[in-house]
Amino acid sequence: MKIQRVVSDAKGRSDAVSFNGLAYVVAYDPNAASGIEAQTRNSLQFLDAKLAEVRSNKEALLQARVYLSDMKMKADMDEIWCEWIGTSKNWPQRACVGADLGDDVTLIEIVVIAVQKPEAL
């Protein structure tokens, strides 16, 4: 089986990689919007696009890790997440972790593992 890579604009990494029926995707706000609500919405939109590139979607998520630069933002992020993820049939196993994301602009990164879908999504 061949490894598929969706190369990132950032040197040395991919936004998504798929192999053997699984997709591994990282999402962030490419616009670095102001505030956790906007960054969460933009990150989830980016995640939807990258999942589609590797023939998957949010209904096929197995696991998600949400990294926040400040855990005080978790409730606001959760509100947007729950709006996006929908009913419990879509809920992945999820953890939320406080992390230094490397700058004062990035508030959230999301890392997921999903099952790839057949060609006809």
Summarize pLDDT for 107-118 with one digit per residue, the tens. Answer: 999 999 999 986
Structure tokens, 65? 């890790």
The CA-atom distances, in angstroms, between 6 and each of 15, 52, 72 are 6, 11, 32
Any idea what DSSP says for residue 14? E
pLDDT score recorded for residue 120: 41
Residue 71 and residue 75: Cα distance in Å, rounded? 9
* Domains in the chain with CATH codes: 4-115 (3.30.1330.40)
Enter the pTM of the model: 0.93
Q: What is the pLDDT of residues 69-115, one digit of tens each?
A: 999 999 999 999 999 999 999 999 999 999 999 999 999 999 999 99
3-state secondary structure of 28: strand
Provide the percentage of residues in the chain whose pLDDT is more than 70: 97
